[in-house]
Chain A
Amino acid sequence: MRRSATSLRRRLTWTLIGGATLLAVLFFLVVRTYAQQIAQQSQDRILEASLTSLMDAAVVRDGEIEVDVPYAAFAMLDTAADDRVFYAVHQGDALLTGYDGLAEGPFDPAVGLDFQTQAFGGAEVRRATLTRALPAGPAPVLLTVSVAQTRDSLAGTLWAISVNAALFGGAFFVLASGMALWTSRSTVRPLSQMAEAVARRGPRDLRPVVRPVPTELSPLVTSLNSLMTRLSASLTQSETFIAEAAHRVRTPLATVRTHAEATLMRVDKDENRAALRSMIRAIDESSRAAGQLLDHAMVTFRGDQLERRQIDLVGICRELVDRLTPVAEMKDLELVLIAEGPVEVQGDPILIQNAVRNLIDNALKYSPPEGVVRIEVQRDPVAIVVCDEGGGFPAEQMAELSQRFQRGANAGDTVGSGLGLTIAQDVAEAHGGRLGLANLDEGGACATLYL
């Protein structure tokens, strides 16, 4: 057996879950990065506004810069986390007012608005700095304003957003994983349903699969159906061939047998008579085998399209016993039918008759002379038991005996093809029953046809 390839469903599930994980992580990172940018931008905008209002409050008087800091310049920097605020105003490179060391010169008006993240006062701060040249007398005065703020509120906002993004990402992952499991299961389901439907079929059921299947599966189903059609056609052909061949062989054999018997009447020499007898015996055997092959082909055919009718088993058995009694008497055997009243079942009368005849044939064949063959029709469960007083089935072979062309080891020189039990078993199975074989303690064997 080939090593089984990886499961489709498992591969689908893991691919989907892997995708979901990737998306969740990506979502988290994108949201976090974006939030960081937005939060930083909004802090920068407020710092800029504060800085602008400080800048606007500056005037040059007698060459000296005067800054009348508006209250709002710092009040607007109030945050939920009460961030610390630092500022510095430089004239040229000299600190005019504010916190020393917040910004260092030289300052250049060409730089424009400059944002820096730096350490100050034992904390990480975001600083905005702007330098402007104010006209004053002969040479302009350089005014530099810096406003800085710690990043506690920013960190708080980011943390809150990160937690939310993580929760959303996690929820998305869980949801997507659940959907992945569901999707893979429902995708693979038609496949397993089809496999189950095909597996449930009987050994001879070669009808094409007609149930609706997903588009992706239809090439497979089409190929399978075409394969089954060809297989079915080839089986039918060979069955037909066997039946035809058996039929064609039987008729000339009958002619040959008649001639052989006529000849036997006429010859007197013992060795010639012996030769003729063994010839007749071989012809019987061939004829019987051809008959059973025909029976088997018919059972196979009728079993596939079983035609159920109300039938009486006792009636069938009685008719058979009547028909076969002359044959039995030729062997000094007695056929006994044990049955009470009619036992009615739904079934194919021709098949059942065939099966019982084969069983009685077998019993007649293996019974010692002067013996009795009992045919019993049981009511509960419905069954037909055929018992003989022969040597019984070899115990170790009982399971194999009903296979085609299998004969018991004790068959010896008894005429037979090995098809009798097979036919009985096929008929039983076609009716939803089975064939039971048993040896009797007091000698003899029983074959039971359960229907």
Chain B
Amino acid sequence: MRNFVSVILCLWAGVLVAAELEDRQMFHGEDGVTLRVLSSTDTDIFAPILEGFIARNPSVSVDYAVAGSADIVTLIAECGDCFDVVISSAMDLQLKLANDGLARRLPGLAQQGGSQWRQSVFGFTLEPATVVLNRAAFKGRPLPSTRQELIEALRANPEHFRGRLGTYDVRLSGLGYLFATQDARASETFWRLMEVFGNLDAQLYCCSGDMIDDLASGELFVAYNVLGSYASTRPETLDTVTIITPEDFATTMMRTALVLDSTDVGGAAEAMVSYLTSGAWAAQDRPGFPLPSIGDADAQVLNVVSLDPGLLVYLDRLKRELFLEAWSSALLR
């Protein structure tokens, strides 16, 4: 079987030269159909969910491919029928796939209004963007609980934090772009914070994982707009970092799944989405599991990004240019 997977991987490599797949693994069921999932979530985090799915649907094998949320759009555009299910944290890009008619409608799935769009895009987690701090760097200092307090803390000791700040490079990360644009919508404080970050030579990252690694090693003192859920993946990290959900507002995204309209295994694909949205995976007793189910979180204190056509606005070419221009002038100087 391992050989078979290798052959497949080679074939894929041949087809998708510019695919930029970060990872690709096969999760085997007993026999039957293979469901091809394209996801922005790292394999090691998602593996327990996939295993739970296969346990319930033994006749389905899952071919799990990982790519950056922005790359997912490119991959779909290049090869629309190479995948069956798309799972991504970039809600706006998922909504655009559905708006452009690439997603299949699944009227059979019962899902409450706010966490789905057009019965095609289904949210199944609620994950706030958080500020993660290196605990040692804040020894003897009060921990900031809002963006304003963070700005004040940084301004009070600029030299201590210079070069030790990190955030998403929104030009590369779809999720980073979503968080940044939603922050900008919500408050002007975002821009002031970005100016402070720019002044203090902030580092730019592609992914939450890398930022958390650097925080744990002491390379970074502050990381802004990190998925707090990722920080709690590794118990050893929790000794060195503190995860703060900003009290002024916490931009919260839903991880969403959709079934591509071109799929040949609609039944298995719908079963996957149904499994994800049912929250059955979250009910398993796994302490420290990174993905909070949509049912778990107290959504009222969170500023949840709503699934509506407004998400298309920042995907507009001109709007994106304007936003990146403003972002660059604040951060890159």
User: Which positions in A face B, CB cutoff 8 Å?
Assistant: 66-75, 77-78, 81-86, 89, 96-98, 121-123
20 contacts across the A-B interface (CB closer than 8 A): A66-B318, A68-B322, A69-B313, A72-B310, A73-B313, A74-B310, A74-B312, A75-B308, A75-B310, A78-B309, A82-B308, A83-B309, A84-B99, A84-B101, A84-B309, A85-B99, A89-B318, A97-B318, A97-B319, A98-B316
How many Å lie between the Cα of A250 and that of B224 in the bound state? 142
How many Å lie between the Cα of A447 and that of B23 in the bound state? 125
How many Å lie between the Cα of A362 and that of B311 in the bound state? 119
Residue of A nearest to B307 (CB): A82
B99:A67 contact, CB within 8 angstroms: no
Residue of A nearest to B323 (CB): A68
A69:B118 contact, CB within 8 angstroms: no
How many Å lie between the Cα of A70 and that of B98 in the bound state? 21
Chain A residue contacts of B118, Cβ below 8 A:
81-82, 84
Secondary structure type dominating chain A contacts: mixed
Within the complex, the shortest CB–CB distance from A64 to chain B, in Å, comes to 10
Tally of contacts, chain A with chain B, CB under 8 A:
59
Chain B residue contacts of A122, Cβ below 8 A:
101
Chain B residue contacts of A69, Cβ below 8 A:
313, 316, 318-319
Residue of A nearest to B317 (CB): A97
**Extra inter-chain contacts (4) besides given A66-B318, A71-B313, A86-B99, CB under 8 Å:** A66-B322, A68-B319, A85-B309, A89-B318
Does B117 belong to the interface (CB within 8 Å)? yes
B181-206 residues with Cβ-Cβ distance < 8 A to A are 185
Within the complex, the shortest CB–CB distance from B190 to chain A, in Å, comes to 14
B101:A70 contact, CB within 8 angstroms: no
Does B100 belong to the interface (CB within 8 Å)? yes
B313:A74 contact, CB within 8 angstroms: yes
How many Å lie between the Cα of A72 and that of B311 in the bound state? 10
B310:A96 contact, CB within 8 angstroms: no
Contact of A70 among B119, B308, B313 (CB under 8 A): B313
The 7 closest A-B pairs by CB, nearest first: A75-B310, A82-B118, A78-B308, A85-B309, A74-B309, A97-B317, A69-B319
How many Å lie between the Cα of A83 and that of B312 in the bound state? 13
B318:A96 contact, CB within 8 angstroms: yes
A123:B310 contact, CB within 8 angstroms: no
Residue of B nearest to A84 (CB): B99
How many Å lie between the Cα of A68 and that of B321 in the bound state? 10
Contact with A along B109-134 (1 / 0, CB 8 A): 00000000111000000000000000
Chain A residue contacts of B317, Cβ below 8 A:
97
Chain A residue contacts of B310, Cβ below 8 A:
71-72, 74-75, 78
Q: How many residues of chain B are within 8 Å of chain A by beta carbon?
A: 19
How many Å lie between the Cα of A83 and that of B308 in the bound state? 9
Chain A residue contacts of B311, Cβ below 8 A:
74
Given known contacts A85-B309, A85-B312, is B99 in contact with A71 (CB within 8 Å)? Answer: no
Contact of A123 among B101, B308, B322 (CB under 8 A): B101
How many Å lie between the Cα of A82 and that of B310 in the bound state? 12
Residue of B nearest to A80 (CB): B113
Given known contacts A77-B309, A82-B117, is B185 in contact with A71 (CB within 8 Å)? Answer: yes
Within the complex, the shortest CB–CB distance from B154 to chain A, in Å, comes to 28
How many Å lie between the Cα of A89 and that of B309 in the bound state? 17
Given known contacts A71-B313, A75-B308, A77-B309, is B322 in contact with A121 (CB within 8 Å)? Answer: no
How many Å lie between the Cα of A72 and that of B319 in the bound state? 13
Interface centre among A81, A82, A83 (most CB of B within 10 A): A82
A67:B319 contact, CB within 8 angstroms: yes
Chain A residue contacts of B100, Cβ below 8 A:
84, 121
Within the complex, the shortest CB–CB distance from B98 to chain A, in Å, comes to 8
How many Å lie between the Cα of A75 and that of B309 in the bound state? 5
Chain B residue contacts of A78, Cβ below 8 A:
308-310
Chain A residue contacts of B119, Cβ below 8 A:
82
Contact with A along B150-179 (1 / 0, CB 8 A): 000000000000000000000000000000
Chain B residue contacts of A70, Cβ below 8 A:
313
Chain B residue contacts of A97, Cβ below 8 A:
316-319
Within the complex, the shortest CB–CB distance from A181 to chain B, in Å, comes to 44
Contact with A along B286-321 (1 / 0, CB 8 A): 000000000000000000000011111100111100
Within the complex, the shortest CB–CB distance from A71 to chain B, in Å, comes to 5
Within the complex, the shortest CB–CB distance from B304 to chain A, in Å, comes to 14
Within the complex, the shortest CB–CB distance from A89 to chain B, in Å, comes to 7
B318:A121 contact, CB within 8 angstroms: no
Residue of A nearest to B312 (CB): A74
Within the complex, the shortest CB–CB distance from B217 to chain A, in Å, comes to 38
B73-119 residues with Cβ-Cβ distance < 8 A to A are 98-101, 117-119
Residue of A nearest to B100 (CB): A121
How many Å lie between the Cα of A73 and that of B319 in the bound state? 12
Residue of B nearest to A89 (CB): B318
Residue of B nearest to A74 (CB): B309
How many Å lie between the Cα of A97 and that of B185 in the bound state? 21
Residue of A nearest to B185 (CB): A71
Interface centre among B309, B313, B316 (most CB of A within 10 A): B309
How many Å lie between the Cα of A97 and that of B98 in the bound state? 19
Within the complex, the shortest CB–CB distance from B259 to chain A, in Å, comes to 16
Chain A residue contacts of B316, Cβ below 8 A:
67, 69, 97-98
B216-269 residues with Cβ-Cβ distance < 8 A to A are none
How many Å lie between the Cα of A97 and that of B312 in the bound state? 12
How many Å lie between the Cα of A85 and that of B309 in the bound state? 7
How many Å lie between the Cα of A122 and that of B319 in the bound state? 26
How many Å lie between the Cα of A67 and that of B320 in the bound state? 10
Chain A residue contacts of B312, Cβ below 8 A:
74, 85
How many Å lie between the Cα of A6 and that of B142 in the bound state? 100
Residue of A nearest to B181 (CB): A71
Chain A residue contacts of B308, Cβ below 8 A:
74-75, 78, 82
Chain B residue contacts of A67, Cβ below 8 A:
316, 318-319
Residue of B nearest to A78 (CB): B308
